[in-house]
């Protein structure tokens, strides 16, 4: 009966899918005290060696398995920890087991039996222990003490709130990631690749965060992260500003704090950003450069700043890829277009002063959805796009919409080839009363693009527009 205790340990087999392949790895999930006194020398060795590296990639299984995201449990009949060769119980998979983690990566694969699905971690039963003691089936003595859990490389939310990828711990560490919390019911770790100040990486995704994230950083920052292209066919980098709180601009210029992108295609202007841009995103064109691309935060004083930017490298075939030249790209049927530093909400109580920036000239693109024929824009915030004449007087009175070049000579939104500005959104097509907002509909063919331009002086709060793509039958 001593062996009963000895062998009550649980191995956990974790499968992950990488593209079409599925790897299984093993982890000790329940370390009983008696384990180290196992009479099985080989197993004891393995256990001790892998104490600090508990996930062992073991085998590749059935590349054609569907992408079912749920967790499945298999019994351990499909493999045998002891033998380098197949046993009768595990003839579908052979494991070349060397007592080093590195050597476990490459294994022979044959399609395993996949019929034995269990609902929960099975525990060794006396019958099997008897088999063990009598050594009738030494190769399969771990039968049914393994638990197989399958999970995909799905995204997960880490303990710091950043989105990560659910991976076995060892894979996360090998890929240079930080393990932040668990996923897949505790069998995986939420793996986050962090890009830090003065860092350098060629990872295809990662998070560029302030040094003290998720807390704000209060010291002065002069912080550059250098990103190499993950491969030659990377054409764009998407930045998602999960958190972006810097000091606001002064008269439309980022005089105090700056976020600067450099190294991208020479004709791709990424505005220097400051203020609050949480929730915004930008695309950077890098198809014509070899890299690296630098991301720099410069701050002037010891105030609180917070940033967490998801950096995603994209090839032109990626689903997330945007049409060339779009600084922002929206793929939903309905959504919001918002100017930079529009938000008046801070998580860290930083000084706020919503206003767009000077010298902007960029395109917000919207993916045309199937069977939609037009887009309607409505003002959904406190719009203010200002134009002053050469005498420094406003071109149009306050609380009015401006339309076309005489009203909007310097700062304007361009929707359906019409310049729009002022404190209301109204192109005059529905209501002629320019003191009220009115929906603006673009039923033009071709790419759906809203441009925004500003000159080198006079800024207003900006805009937040809701867009809605309309069905062709409407
Ligand atoms: C293992 O066995 C040794 C003696 O063989 C004993 O001193 C020790 O306490 C045992 N360890 C555990 C964890 O039971
Ligand atoms: C495994 O197979 C090889 C040849 O296929 C053989 O030489 C070796 O003895 C086998 N080992 C065991 C433990 O069965
Ligand atoms: C096991 O791994 C060690 C260290 O990497 C290596 O030297 C040895 O050749 C390996 N043995 C087998 C059988 O693969
Ligand atoms: C990027 O940063 C590195 C290191 O700070 C620097 O050597 C390089 O010149 C920078 N490249 C660009 C395009 O700013």
- Region 182-204: mean pLDDT is 85
Q: Which of 84, 87, 139 to mutate to test the pocket of ligand 2 (most atoms within 8 A of CB)?
A: 84
pLDDT-derived band at 222, boundaries 50, 70, 90: very high
pLDDT value at residue 131? 34
Least confident of 103-107, 175-179, 211-215, 313-317: 103-107
pLDDT value at residue 243? 94
Question: Which residues are near ligand 2 (CB < 6 Å)?
Answer: 83-85
Q: Whose CA is nearest to atom 10 of ligand 4?
A: 294
pLDDT value at residue 181? 83
Does position 78 have pLDDT exceeding 70, yes or no?
no
Does position 3 have pLDDT exceeding 70, yes or no?
no
Locate 61 and state its tokens.
Answer: 């299984």
Centroid of ligand 3 to alpha carbon of 99 (angstroms): 8
Residue identified by tokens 């000077």 is: 358
pLDDT value at residue 130? 34
pLDDT value at residue 156? 85
Instruction: Specify the CATH superfamily of domain 193-321.
Output: Spermadhesin, CUB domain (2.60.120.290)
Q: Which helix (H) or strand (E) holds 190?
A: strand 188-192
Closest CA to 188 of 144, 159, 149: 149
State whether residue 217 is helix, strand or coil.
Answer: strand
Q: What is the pLDDT of residues 20-47, one digit of tens each?
A: 333 333 433 333 333 333 333 333 323 3
Residue identified by tokens 């983690």 is: 101
Q: Whose CA is nearest to atom 3 of ligand 1?
A: 37
Locate 334 and state its tokens.
Answer: 């309905």
Centroid of ligand 2 to alpha carbon of 85 (angstroms): 6
Strand partners for 369: none
- What's the mean pLDDT when you consider all of the chain? 73
Q: Whose CA is nearest to atom 5 of ligand 1?
A: 37
Q: What is the pLDDT of residues 379-430, one digit of tens each?
A: 999 999 999 998 989 999 999 999 999 999 999 999 999 999 999 999 999 9
Question: Which residues are near ligand 1 (CB < 6 Å)?
Answer: 33-34, 36-37
Q: Whose CA is nearest to atom 1 of ligand 3?
A: 98
Please state the atom number of ligand 2 nearest to the C-alpha of residue 83: 13
CA 125 from centre of chain: 44
Locate 184 and state its tokens.
Answer: 């897949």
State whether residue 445 is helix, strand or coil.
Answer: coil
45 lines ligand 3 (CB under 6 A): no
Whether residue 456 contacts residue 359, with contact meaning beta carbons closer than 8 Å, is answered with yes
Does position 64 have pLDDT exceeding 60, yes or no?
no
Locate 179 and state its tokens.
Answer: 């393990």
Centroid of ligand 1 to alpha carbon of 81 (angstroms): 24
Q: Which of 290, 292, 293 to mutate to test the pocket of ligand 4 (most atoms within 8 A of CB)?
A: 292
Please state the atom number of ligand 3 nearest to the C-alpha of residue 100: 2
- Region 105-116: mean pLDDT is 28
Q: Of the segments 28-42, 66-80, 189-203, which one has the largest average pLDDT value?
A: 189-203
49 lines ligand 3 (CB under 6 A): no
Does position 7 have pLDDT exceeding 60, yes or no?
no
Locate 413 and state its tokens.
Answer: 């939104």
Strand partners for 21: 18
Looking at the chain, the number of H-run helices and the number of E-run strands are 5, 28
pLDDT-derived band at 318, boundaries 50, 70, 90: very high
Locate 252 and state its tokens.
Answer: 């439309």
pLDDT value at residue 151? 55
CA distance 460 to 340: 11
Centroid of ligand 1 to alpha carbon of 6 (angstroms): 11
Residues 6 or more apart whose CB falls under 8 angstroms from that of 317 comprise none
Q: Whose CA is nearest to atom 4 of ligand 2?
A: 85
Supply φ then ψ for residue 30, to 5 degrees: -145, 105
Whether residue 244 contacts residue 307, with contact meaning beta carbons closer than 8 Å, is answered with yes
**Residue range(s) in the chain whose domain bears CATH number 2.60.120.290:** 193-321, 323-474
Strand partners for 365: 329, 449
Q: What is the pLDDT of residues 134-171, one digit of tens each?
A: 333 333 333 223 334 445 667 888 888 888 888 777 77
pLDDT value at residue 147? 37
Please state the atom number of ligand 4 nearest to the C-alpha of residue 224: 5
Decide which of 410 and 86 is more confident. Answer: 410
Whether residue 310 contacts residue 227, with contact meaning beta carbons closer than 8 Å, is answered with no
Centroid of ligand 3 to alpha carbon of 303 (angstroms): 55
- Region 191-209: mean pLDDT is 92
Q: What is the pLDDT of residues 439-469, one digit of tens each?
A: 999 999 999 999 999 999 999 999 999 999 9
Centroid of ligand 3 to alpha carbon of 19 (angstroms): 29
CA distance 366 to 459: 25
Q: What is the pLDDT of residues 162-192, one digit of tens each?
A: 888 887 777 788 778 888 888 776 667 888 9
Q: Which of 33, 37, 39, 41 to mutate to test the pocket of ligand 1 (most atoms within 8 A of CB)?
A: 37
Q: Whose CA is nearest to atom 6 of ligand 2?
A: 85
Locate 87 and state its tokens.
Answer: 């046993």
Closest CA to 24 of 150, 144, 183: 150
Could you say which of 2.160.10.10, 2.60.120.290, 1.20.1530.20, 2.60.300.12 is the CATH number of the domain covering 323-474? 2.60.120.290
CA 282 from centre of chain: 14
Percent of the chain with pLDDT over 70: 67
Does position 106 have pLDDT exceeding 50, yes or no?
no
Decide which of 309 and 56 is more confident. Answer: 309
Locate 150 and state its tokens.
Answer: 């399958």
pLDDT value at residue 152? 60
Find the farthest-apart pair of alpha carbons in the chain and give their distance in angstroms, rounded: 101
Q: Which helix (H) or strand (E) holds 2?
A: helix 2-6
Q: What is the pLDDT of residues 344-375, one digit of tens each?
A: 888 887 888 999 999 999 999 999 999 999 99
């Amino acid at each position: 009966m001593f062996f009963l205790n000895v062998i009550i340990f649980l191995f956990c087999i974790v499968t992950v899918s990488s593209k079409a392949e599925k790897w299984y790895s093993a982890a000790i999930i329940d370390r009983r005290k008696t384990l180290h006194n196992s009479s099985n020398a080989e197993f004891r060795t393995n256990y001790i060696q892998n104490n600090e590296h508990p996930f062992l990639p073991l085998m590749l299984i059935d590349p054609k398995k569907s992408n079912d995201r749920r967790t499945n449990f298999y019994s351990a009949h499909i493999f045998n920890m002891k033998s380098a060769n197949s046993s009768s119980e595990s003839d579908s998979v052979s494991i070349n087991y060397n007592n080093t983690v590195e050597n476990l990566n490459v294994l022979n694969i044959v399609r395993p039996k996949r019929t034995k699905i269990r609902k929960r971690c099975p525990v060794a039963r006396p019958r099997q222990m008897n088999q063990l003691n009598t050594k009738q089936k030494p190769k399969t003595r771990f039968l049914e003490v393994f638990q197989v859990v399958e999970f995909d490389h799905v995204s997960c939310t880490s303990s710091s709130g950043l989105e990560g990828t659910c991976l076995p711990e060892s894979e996360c560490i090998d890929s240079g990631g930080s393990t932040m919390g668990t996923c897949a019911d505790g069998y995986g770790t939420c793996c986050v690749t962090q890009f830090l100040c003065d860092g350098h990486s060629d990872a295809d995704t990662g998070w560029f965060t302030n040094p003290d994230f998720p807390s704000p950083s209060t010291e002065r920052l002069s912080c550059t992260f250098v990103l190499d292209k993950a491969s030659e066919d990377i054409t764009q980098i998407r930045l998602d500003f999960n958190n972006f709180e810097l000091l606001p601009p002064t008269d439309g210029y980022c005089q105090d704090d700056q976020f600067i992108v450099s190294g991208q295609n020479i004709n791709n202007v990424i505005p220097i950003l400051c203020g609050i841009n949480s929730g915004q995103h930008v695309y950077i064109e890098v198809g014509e450069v070899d890299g690296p691309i630098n991301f720099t935060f410069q701050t002037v004083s010891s105030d609180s700043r917070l940033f967490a930017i998801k950096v995603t490298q994209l090839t032109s075939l990626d689903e997330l890829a945007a049409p060339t030249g779009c600084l922002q790209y929206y793929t939903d049927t309905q959504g919001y277009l918002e100017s930079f530093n529009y938000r008046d909400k801070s998580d860290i109580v930083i000084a706020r002063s919503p206003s767009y920036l000077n010298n902007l000239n960029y395109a917000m693109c919207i993916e045309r959805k199937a069977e939609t024929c037009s887009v309607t824009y409505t003002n959904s915030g406190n719009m203010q796009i200002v134009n002053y004449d050469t005498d420094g007087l406003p071109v149009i009175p306050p609380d009015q919409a401006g339309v076309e070049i005489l009203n909007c000579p310097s700062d304007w939104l361009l929707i359906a080839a019409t310049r729009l500005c002022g404190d209301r959104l109204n192109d005059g097509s529905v209501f002629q009363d320019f003191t009220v907002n009115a929906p603006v509909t673009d039923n033009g063919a071709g790419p759906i693009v809203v441009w925004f331009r500003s000159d080198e002086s006079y800024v207003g709060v900006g805009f937040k527009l809701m867009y809605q793509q309309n069905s062709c039958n409407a």
